């Protein structure tokens, strides 16, 4: 095909050969540069791929103006502040025997062009350096307070078993341990804790000496410093600004860093600048085991708390819940020293500002009943009650996921999105959709997410003094009433007992109820004697006019197997009547054996179920079962009977008298 180049910028095909086709012409316009739609962009400023990649990420600002830029009248530069922060982290990681901290530098080693050189002083005479070790020569890279997105990248790139699920959550594996190891937890017994802590029979505190703690600390620190990079989180515990605790978590895994980012309170950039020295430090060496030959060790796992040093060491377990509950234990020690009551409870608040506390062991409905669309959620698990009111200790929720369904628990379902950690769940390998019914890894599957992911969470997570204290029990024996009003002594008695009944299978396949007691509804985490927490609870309830309630979410009309579970709709009606104050106006009568005050009628709940004896066809079987449960309560309480509350033995006798009487 030939074409004629026509002058004056015209262009036309040679029509002699292409007969029958219209003539195409392009005419030069006045402005050569105008194109009808020019979507060509200016070329990138980069000369290489590396340069292009460097343009993709905006440098985080020299965060915020420093509130106090002068230290002793000298202005602190951004560089100086960064240096002080690194010195603080190096001090945290210091070996106690070598008395030195590692050389630390911020940032991901994979992205560093080269490790910074350290200026060495010039020595004219050659002196052999005797105390230099290989670990002293290397740099440890600090990944400091990374964002969830950065932690996702670290986990997916470097940690086997990390995947993004279809909802955007990060699925992780906690290794061989899929739950806490209470038998491997130790607390240093020294002059600080000798008289303060609860030791001996029934206590969760198993002792170790300071020397053994220091051996384990050194082992964890040496392991962490031997790594190319460690994750450091500086965060807070307790939403009450007057009683906030600064915590530093040093860990080897992105999973652990993201978990704690979600579970602790996240500082603002301004708060981080003033963070300074932490009040408490966790050294989480994860999979690295303790030395079995070390005194007090019973396995290759050890979780050690030293209250005098304000430190916790984790060896031989990657289960993240150890950090959460370890810190909860620490709060159970630190807060009562300030006359603040630490509580293992859920907490919510009505539109009128009425606050309710929910206590209950696993399976009693604590999470379900404290998550209420008509009320604000202050928190689901750990709280403080001070002179100012209640505050959540944590910045997140740690929800069970087994058999999770959108219909049953929409708030938890919807919270499992980008930023949430999903522990030990099973998912479909292609779509990455999680199967919450699958127990292949463990039954204890969990989701950890920031509390803001719950739509009706109250931020900041604080509230006024509680109006109602609700103790939940799932009584599989079927003899406790659906609801009882408690006096102060009864509240203390049932709070110290911490009762529920599990349904356990026996050898021949018959399932029968087993009573479970956990002091203060969280025996695994308390540090002081249970009666101390109970006395504080009673004192606060008396001072602020709160009412105690015992709510049975278990069986009615017979024990497990013959009776039936009390309908959730009825329990919700009972809880609503407690919140509204209607239940206080009801008429009451007393039950035998436990001496509980029960309402005779309540709107929306069949009157006959309010007194358990009515629902049992066999009255003798009811009486026998009632006496059996009373006996179990008595037997459990024997551990606490010899303990005086302060110098007051009358108070102890009063609590005892509030128990079952037969």
Q: What is the mean pLDDT of residues 500-511?
A: 68
Q: Which residues sit opposite 548 in a β-bridge?
A: 469, 486
CA gap 285, 252 in Å, rounded: 6
Model confidence band, residue 45 (pLDDT cutoffs 50, 70, 90) = confident
Mark whether 344 is an active-site residue. yes
> Between 368 and 244, whose confidence is greater?
244
Q: What is the mean pLDDT of residues 269-285?
A: 95
pLDDT at 126: 44
Mark whether 543 is an active-site residue. no
Asked if 83 contacts 204 with a C-beta cutoff of 8 angstroms, the reply is no
pLDDT at 201: 86
Give domain status of residue 380, yes or no: no
Mark whether 127 is an active-site residue. no
pLDDT at 588: 98
The whole-angstrom distance between residue 517's C-alpha and the CA centroid of its chain comes to: 23
Give domain status of residue 651, yes or no: yes
Q: Are 448 and 477 contained in the same domain?
A: no
Give domain status of residue 254, yes or no: yes
| Residue among 141, 229, 266, 325 flagged as catalytic | 325
Q: Are 486 and 449 contained in the same domain?
A: no
- At 499, give phi and psi (nearest 5°): -90, 145
β pairing state of 355-359 and 462-463: unpaired
| Residue among 184, 234, 304, 381 flagged as catalytic | 381
**Which range of residues forms the domain containing residue 448?**
148-340+386-453
Q: What is the mean pLDDT of residues 49-65?
A: 64
pLDDT at 62: 43
Please identify which residue in the block is written with the tokens 């350290």.
118
| Residue among 97, 147, 299, 362 flagged as catalytic | 362
Give domain status of residue 218, yes or no: yes
Please identify which residue in the block is written with the tokens 């599990």.
502
Please enumerate in sequence order all residues whose Cβ is within 8 A of that of 530, keeping only pairs 6 or more positions apart, or say none: 198, 496, 519, 520, 523, 640
Q: Are 305 and 431 contained in the same domain?
A: yes
Give domain status of residue 460, yes or no: no
pLDDT at 102: 87
pLDDT higher than threshold 70 for residue 248: yes
Please enumerate in sequence order all residues whose Cβ is within 8 A of that of 170, keeping only pairs 6 or more positions apart, or say none: 151, 152, 155, 156, 162, 163, 164, 255, 258, 420, 421, 422
422: domain CATH number? Answer: 3.40.449.10
Mark whether 446 is an active-site residue. yes
Mark whether 366 is an active-site residue. yes
Q: Are 299 and 416 contained in the same domain?
A: yes
| Residue-wise pLDDT tens digits, 2-17 | 445 445 554 545 545 5
pLDDT higher than threshold 50 for residue 27: yes
**In 3D, which of 425, 468, 469, 416 has the Cα closest to residue 445?**
425
Considering its fold, how many domains does the chain have in total?
Answer: 2
pLDDT at 511: 74
Q: Are 199 and 333 contained in the same domain?
A: yes
pLDDT at 112: 61
Q: Are 437 and 552 contained in the same domain?
A: no
Asked if 521 contacts 498 with a C-beta cutoff of 8 angstroms, the reply is yes
Give domain status of residue 248, yes or no: yes
Mark whether 180 is an active-site residue. yes
Asked if 384 contacts 344 with a C-beta cutoff of 8 angstroms, the reply is no
> Between 98 and 411, whose confidence is greater?
411
pLDDT at 130: 44
The secondary structure element, H or E, covering residue 527 is: none
Give domain status of residue 45, yes or no: no
Q: Are 437 and 500 contained in the same domain?
A: no
Model confidence band, residue 247 (pLDDT cutoffs 50, 70, 90) = very high
Q: Are 543 and 637 contained in the same domain?
A: yes
Among 453, 482, 499, the domain-final residue is: 453
| Residue among 186, 246, 446, 622 flagged as catalytic | 446
- At 49, give phi and psi (nearest 5°): -60, -40
| Residue-wise pLDDT tens digits, 284-332 | 999 999 998 899 998 999 999 999 999 999 999 999 999 999 999 999 9
Mark whether 417 is an active-site residue. no
| Residue-wise pLDDT tens digits, 557-613 | 999 989 999 999 999 999 999 999 999 999 999 999 999 999 999 999 999 999 999
pLDDT higher than threshold 90 for residue 158: yes
pLDDT at 117: 54
pLDDT higher than threshold 70 for residue 64: no
Among 395, 426, 453, the domain-final residue is: 453
Among 413, 428, 453, the domain-final residue is: 453
Q: Which residues sit opposite 233 in a β-bridge?
A: 249
617: domain CATH number? Answer: 3.90.228.20
Q: Are 158 and 300 contained in the same domain?
A: yes
> Between 641 and 529, whose confidence is greater?
529
pLDDT at 96: 84
How many other CB atoms sit within 10 Å of the CB of residue 459?
Answer: 13
Give domain status of residue 360, yes or no: no
**% of the chain beyond a pLDDT of 70:** 84
Mark whether 325 is an active-site residue. yes
What letter does residue 107 receive in the DSSP assignment?
S
pLDDT higher than threshold 80 for residue 445: yes
Q: Are 552 and 410 contained in the same domain?
A: no
| Residue among 266, 344, 540, 573 flagged as catalytic | 344
Burial class (CB in 10 A: 0-12, 13-18, 19+), 25: exposed
Cis peptide before 460 (omega within 30 of 0): yes
Q: Are 232 and 300 contained in the same domain?
A: yes
| Residue among 366, 375, 573, 622 flagged as catalytic | 366
Q: What is the mean pLDDT of the chain?
A: 88
Give this prediction's pTM.
0.86
Token output for 38: 């020019």
Q: Are 503 and 550 contained in the same domain?
A: yes
**In 3D, which of 175, 312, 157, 147 has the Cα closest to residue 237?**
312
């Amino acid at each position: 095909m030939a074409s004629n180049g026509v002058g004056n910028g015209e262009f036309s095909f040679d029509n002699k050969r292409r007969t029958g086709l219209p003539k195409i012409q392009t005419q030069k316009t006045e402005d050569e540069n105008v194109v009808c739609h020019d979507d060509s962009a200016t070329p990138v400023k980069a000369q290489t791929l590396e340069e292009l990649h460097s343009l993709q990420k905006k440098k985080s600002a020299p965060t915020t103006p420093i509130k106090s830029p002068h230290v002793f009248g000298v202005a602190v530069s951004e560089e100086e502040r960064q240096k002080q922060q690194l010195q603080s982290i190096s001090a945290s990681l210091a070996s106690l025997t070598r008395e030195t901290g590692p050389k630390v530098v911020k940032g991901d080693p994979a992205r560093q062009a080269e490790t910074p050189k350290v200026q060495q002083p010039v020595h004219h005479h050659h002196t052999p350096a005797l105390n230099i070790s290989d670990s002293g020569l290397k740099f440890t890279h600090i990944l400091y307070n990374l964002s969830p997105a950065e932690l996702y990248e670290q986990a997916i790139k470097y940690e086997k078993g990390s995947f993004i699920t279809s909802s955007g959550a990060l699925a992780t594996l906690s290794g061989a341990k899929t739950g806490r190891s209470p038998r491997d937890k130790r607390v240093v017994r020294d002059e600080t804790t000798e008289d303060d802590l609860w030791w001996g029979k029934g206590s969760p505190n198993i002792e170790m000496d300071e020397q053994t703690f220091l051996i384990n600390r050194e082992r964890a620190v040496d392991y962490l410093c031997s790594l190319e990079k460690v994750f450091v989180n500086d965060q807070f515990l307790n939403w009450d600004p007057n009683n906030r605790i600064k915590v530093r978590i040093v860990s080897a895994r992105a999973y652990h860093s993201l978990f704690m980012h979600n579970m602790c309170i996240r500082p603002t950039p301004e708060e981080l600048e003033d963070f300074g020295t932490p009040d408490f430090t966790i050294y989480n060496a994860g999979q690295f085991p303790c030395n079995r030959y070390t005194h007090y060790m019973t396995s290759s796992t050890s979780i050690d708390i030293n209250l005098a040093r304000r430190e916790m060491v984790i060896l031989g377990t990657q289960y993240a819940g150890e950090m959460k509950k370890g810190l909860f234990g620490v709060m159970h020690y630190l807060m009562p020293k300030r006359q603040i009551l630490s509580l293992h409870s859920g907490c919510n608040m009505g539109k009128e500002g009425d606050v309710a506390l929910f206590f209950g062991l696993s399976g009693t409905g604590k999470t379900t009943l404290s998550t209420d669309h008509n009320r604000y959620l202050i928190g689901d698990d750990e709280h403080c009650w001070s002179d100012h009111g209640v505050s959540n200790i944590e910045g997140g929720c740690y929800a069970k996921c087994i058999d999770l369904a959108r219909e049953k628990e929409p708030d938890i379902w919807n919270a499992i999105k980008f930023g949430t950690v999903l522990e030990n769940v099973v998912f479909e390998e292609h779509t990455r959709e999680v199967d919450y019914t699958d127990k292949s890894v463990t039954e204890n599957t969990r989701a950890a997410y920031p509390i803001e992911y719950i739509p009706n969470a109250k931020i900041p997570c604080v509230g006024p003094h509680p109006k109602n204290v609700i103790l939940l029990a799932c009584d599989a024996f079927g003899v406790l009433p659906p609801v009882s009003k408690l006096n102060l002594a009864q509240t203390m008695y049932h709070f110290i007992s911490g009762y529920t009944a599990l349904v356990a299978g026996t050898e021949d396949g018959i399932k029968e109820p087993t009573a479970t007691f956990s002091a203060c509804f969280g025996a695994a985490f308390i540090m002081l004697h249970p009666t101390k927490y109970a006395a504080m609870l009673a004192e606060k309830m008396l001072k602020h006019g709160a009412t105690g309630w015992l709510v049975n979410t278990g069986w009615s009309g017979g024990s497990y197997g013959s009776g039936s579970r009390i309908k959730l709709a009825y329990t919700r009606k009972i809880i609503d009547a407690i919140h509204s104050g209607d239940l206080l106006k009801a008429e009451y009568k007393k039950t035998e054996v436990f001496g509980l005050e029960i309402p005779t009628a309540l709107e929306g709940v069949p009157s006959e179920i309010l007194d358990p004896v009515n629902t049992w066809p066999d009255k003798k079987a009811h009486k026998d079962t009632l006496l059996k449960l009373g006996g179990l309560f008595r037997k459990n309480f024997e551990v606490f009977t010899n303990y005086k509350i302060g110098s007051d033995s009358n108070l102890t006798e009063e609590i005892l008298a509030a128990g079952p009487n037969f």
